[in-house]
Chain A
Amino acid sequence: MEIVITDLTKQYRENVVLNHVSLTIGNGMYGLLGRNGAGKTTLMRILSTLLKPSGGRITFDGVPLEETKQIRSLIGYLPQEFSLYPDMSVWETMRYLAAMSDIPAGIQKERIPDLLEGVHLWEIRKRKVRKLSGGMKRRLGIAQALLNDPQVLIVDEPTVGLDPEERLRFYNLLGELSGSRVVIVSSHIVADMESVCEYAAILDSGRLLYAGAIDRLAGTAEGKVFELTVPRTELESVKRKFCVLSSQGHSSGLKVRVLSDCVPDTGHPVSCTPTVEDGYMQLLRQM
């Protein structure tokens, strides 16, 4: 499966949400990175046929997005903010959404147990949705998105509100699913994407800043990451001069990791090997 996005634009009156974005997405986990409001959700909603683009073209293995019915048979979507009917059980929810996907009853009977076992919800299939934890709801969300065995799984900020353990389980689950299909997952947490995605795109204010292998992202900050050691009182001054990536307290003062185009003239700078997150920050800084 290959998704080709060409010159995609989405505009609400004067407000340009996606600005001439061109991108190619292949099989495997693909990360969409960007700050809140960067346009990630809008792009995902367009790919899910929930929103019409203002301009540009999208094809799924050559099938244009306008062929809604065909595209919908190819995709599974888990939105960032969603709920389920609280008075339905896990099993009923799956049956209901399977019926909405035109899945024949015979296939439902085989597939739904498999999916619920896959997301570890089979044991609690009779439990009402209102009694599920946030992590369980997310897993049920994934299971429902897989009901039609989609070739493209679109997952928008799936780990918001989950504790670290649930987050890890969730990404592992997505990793398992990505083998034979495209999994597009969005987040503003670079570390999450770095651990699970091979490729990523970075959006900011509707513009595409980067698209490619995620491990190459670090290269964009090569020679621009420094560690400074400064007294606590100078932190504000450092913040004004440089883009501060992190700061760590020590007995001698603060160790501050900064981005700078030239070698800083303060705090005994030590050049550092950039990480993917440093590269991401460097790209955003350039905007």
Chain B
Amino acid sequence: MKSLWMMECRKITRSILYWLYVAVLFVTVMQNYETAVESELRRTDNPASVFYIAKDGVYADSPDEIDEDAQHAMMINATKRLMDNYRNNSYEYYPFGYVKRKKLSEKEQTAVLQYLKELTGLDEPSMNGTEENKDSEDIQISGGGAFVLEPGQGTFENGKFIAEPEDWGYVENHSGLSQSSGNPENAFEMQVTFDRFKEIMERVNHLIGCNSYYSWTMLSMYYCTNDMQDTPVTEQQHREFYEKDHVTGAFARYYCDNISLIVLCLPAFVMTGLAGKDKRCNMRALIYPRTRNSAKIILARFAAAVFMIMLPILILPVKSLVTLAGYCRNLGVHADLSAFVAYIFAWIFPTVLLVVSIALFITVLTENDSAILLTGLIWLFGRPSVDKIAGGNYGLFDLIIRHNTLKGYGRMMENIQMLIWNRALVCAAAFLLVGLAVIVYDVKRKGGNFFESRKSVGHRGRECPHEC
């Protein structure tokens, strides 16, 4: 069985579909996950970073409910973001669970501008920041203070602007300063009630498309749960990150989330390619009359496909694991080196098993590529809804586990029971499908016919193409 499994693995390595899967996985991990890790490591002094360690030991409060302060924070932050999106004409939305950017038409931009005017009371030049404050720069440092370069300081030499250390002045309460005279995004007061704000956001959401950043689902997720990246960490999150997740656990969850949509579909290509190769290469008549048990053949192929699919998933986070472990060593905190393996096997492995087993069963049954179509449909319609991307809100029949934040360990643990049931169910479904595939394969080997005409196994088949 082992030698057959190894030969099946080798067959997979010769498949273009497999390398396509690896390439997509690699690009996704590099573009999304690795970038996020680097970005998080660059902003360790930012109170919103999971790495942030408050010198005074004071962290943000947990806004569990939408009280007046939370409402205000939501309005201010969402309006700032909308202003920024308007200026760049680049709006975030989540059509497939992943963030995308959209450009609005001139008419739509005008509508957004009107809403911004209503929200902030600012005119267009103020919002664009063309009238004021362009000549004031600041560098924020931890603890809320900032070095501020006031107008008139610094000199131009050979066309370059040079600021000497003495040109910068330290200001303790930087937030107050920037609200009054900093970036235009910070220099406004909300002009509408919370209800009117929600109405405007709904209309903006309608303009951008479904599941934009301004949908109520996303706003409440960002500003009511305090688990998305750009909200300051609470003490509980800080403790969870360093004491429960041991740093790497949070990144392992985030890594699994990043690749979850890929493993919901692409492994089907690998399995279909392998299981359908006998027919494409006209090999069935040479393999069917062999003495090896059908269960052993199917299991060897299933195990080979799962192994080869899991291999890059396990290898790709090694770089970030080394980086994170190094960071933890410098910081003197404990890093969980097995976190990636644990999360990958708990979260990703069951999904891989299910997708591969669906592809295996359908391919053995139909002997065509319809498994790819089916898993494509599952990918389109079987993804968890966007309100689950922050994690914790698990359903029994979710095919993938989303957790698009480095925080949220506590929320995951609150629903761990459902998570375990979900993964167990997915695994059980996968093994059931493999069992069915064995039965169907055995029936076919003994001359059973499900869909094919009499001209099937070894009967006037076409010659094998050079690449199959």
Which residue numbers of A lie inside 8 Å of B, CB to CB? 12, 15, 17, 41, 45-46, 48-52, 68-69, 72-73, 75, 77, 79-88, 92, 95-97, 99-102, 105, 130, 141, 144, 148, 156
A50-B291 contact in complex given A77-B285, A85-B283, A87-B14, C-beta closer than 8 Å? no
Chain B residues numbered 291-341 whose CB sits less than 8 Å from any CB in chain A: 291-292, 297
A82-B283 contact in complex given A51-B447, A72-B290, A101-B291, C-beta closer than 8 Å? yes
A39 to chain B, nearest CB (A): 11
Bound together, the chains give a CA A73 to CA B445 distance in angstroms of: 14
A37 to chain B, nearest CB (A): 10
Q: Who on chain A is nearest to B14 by CB?
A: A87
Say whether B11 contacts A85, CB under 8 Å: yes
Against A, the Cβ 8 Å flags (1 = close, 0 = not) of B440-466 are 000001111000001001111111111
**Can you report 26 residue pairs joining A to B where beta carbons are below 8 Å apart?**
A45-B457, A46-B447, A48-B285, A49-B447, A50-B458, A51-B447, A51-B457, A52-B447, A69-B291, A72-B291, A77-B286, A77-B289, A80-B459, A80-B460, A81-B458, A82-B285, A82-B286, A83-B282, A83-B283, A84-B464, A85-B283, A85-B468, A99-B4, A100-B297, A144-B286, A148-B291
Which residue numbers of B lie inside 8 Å of A, CB to CB? 3-4, 7, 10-11, 14, 277, 281-283, 285-292, 297, 445-448, 454, 457-468
B-side contacts of A80, CB under 8 Å: 458-460
B367 to chain A, nearest CB (A): 14
Bound together, the chains give a CA A102 to CA B459 distance in angstroms of: 25
Bound together, the chains give a CA A141 to CA B458 distance in angstroms of: 13
A212 to chain B, nearest CB (A): 28
Residue with the highest number of chain B CB atoms closer than 10 Å, among A17, A83, A102? A83
A92-B285 contact in complex given A45-B458, A86-B467, A100-B292, C-beta closer than 8 Å? no
Say whether A95 contacts B458, CB under 8 Å: no
B141 to chain A, nearest CB (A): 59
B-side contacts of A79, CB under 8 Å: 285-286, 458-459
Bound together, the chains give a CA A2 to CA B17 distance in angstroms of: 47
B-side contacts of A148, CB under 8 Å: 291
Bound together, the chains give a CA A41 to CA B461 distance in angstroms of: 12
A-side contacts of B466, CB under 8 Å: 86, 130
B467 to chain A, nearest CB (A): 7
Bound together, the chains give a CA A45 to CA B291 distance in angstroms of: 16
Say whether B281 contacts A85, CB under 8 Å: yes
Say whether B448 contacts A86, CB under 8 Å: no
Bound together, the chains give a CA A126 to CA B156 distance in angstroms of: 72
The one of A50, A77, A102 in contact with B447, judged by C-beta atoms closer than 8 angstroms, is A50
Say whether B286 contacts A97, CB under 8 Å: yes
B-side contacts of A73, CB under 8 Å: 291
A99-B464 contact in complex given A52-B446, A77-B289, A83-B281, C-beta closer than 8 Å? no
The one of B7, B281, B291, B461 in contact with A92, judged by C-beta atoms closer than 8 angstroms, is B7
B-side contacts of A156, CB under 8 Å: 458
Other CB < 8 Å A-B pairs besides A86-B464, A86-B465, A97-B290, 12 of them? A68-B446, A72-B290, A77-B289, A80-B460, A82-B282, A84-B464, A85-B277, A86-B466, A86-B468, A97-B287, A99-B4, A141-B286
Q: Who on chain A is nearest to B4 by CB?
A: A99
Bound together, the chains give a CA A75 to CA B285 distance in angstroms of: 13
A96-B459 contact in complex given A82-B283, A86-B464, C-beta closer than 8 Å? no
Bound together, the chains give a CA A153 to CA B119 distance in angstroms of: 86
Bound together, the chains give a CA A83 to CA B445 distance in angstroms of: 18
Say whether A50 contacts B289, CB under 8 Å: yes
Bound together, the chains give a CA A189 to CA B292 distance in angstroms of: 35
B-side contacts of A97, CB under 8 Å: 286-287, 290
Q: Who on chain A is nearest to B5 by CB?
A: A99
Residue with the highest number of chain A CB atoms closer than 10 Å, among B7, B10, B289, B458? B289
A90 to chain B, nearest CB (A): 14
Say whether B458 contacts A82, CB under 8 Å: yes
Bound together, the chains give a CA A132 to CA B20 distance in angstroms of: 29
Say whether B7 contacts A96, CB under 8 Å: yes
Bound together, the chains give a CA A88 to CA B466 distance in angstroms of: 11
B-side contacts of A52, CB under 8 Å: 446-448
Q: Who on chain B is nearest to A87 by CB?
A: B14
The one of B10, B288, B464 in contact with A83, judged by C-beta atoms closer than 8 angstroms, is B464
B-side contacts of A15, CB under 8 Å: 454
Q: Who on chain B is nearest to A72 by CB?
A: B291
Q: Who on chain B is nearest to A53 by CB?
A: B447
B456 to chain A, nearest CB (A): 9
Bound together, the chains give a CA A87 to CA B468 distance in angstroms of: 9
Bound together, the chains give a CA A154 to CA B281 distance in angstroms of: 21
A-side contacts of B448, CB under 8 Å: 52
A-side contacts of B457, CB under 8 Å: 45, 50-51
Bound together, the chains give a CA A97 to CA B286 distance in angstroms of: 8
Say whether B461 contacts A84, CB under 8 Å: no
A63 to chain B, nearest CB (A): 14
Residue with the highest number of chain A CB atoms closer than 10 Å, among B14, B287, B291, B462? B291
Q: Who on chain B is nearest to A71 by CB?
A: B289
A-side contacts of B3, CB under 8 Å: 95, 99, 105
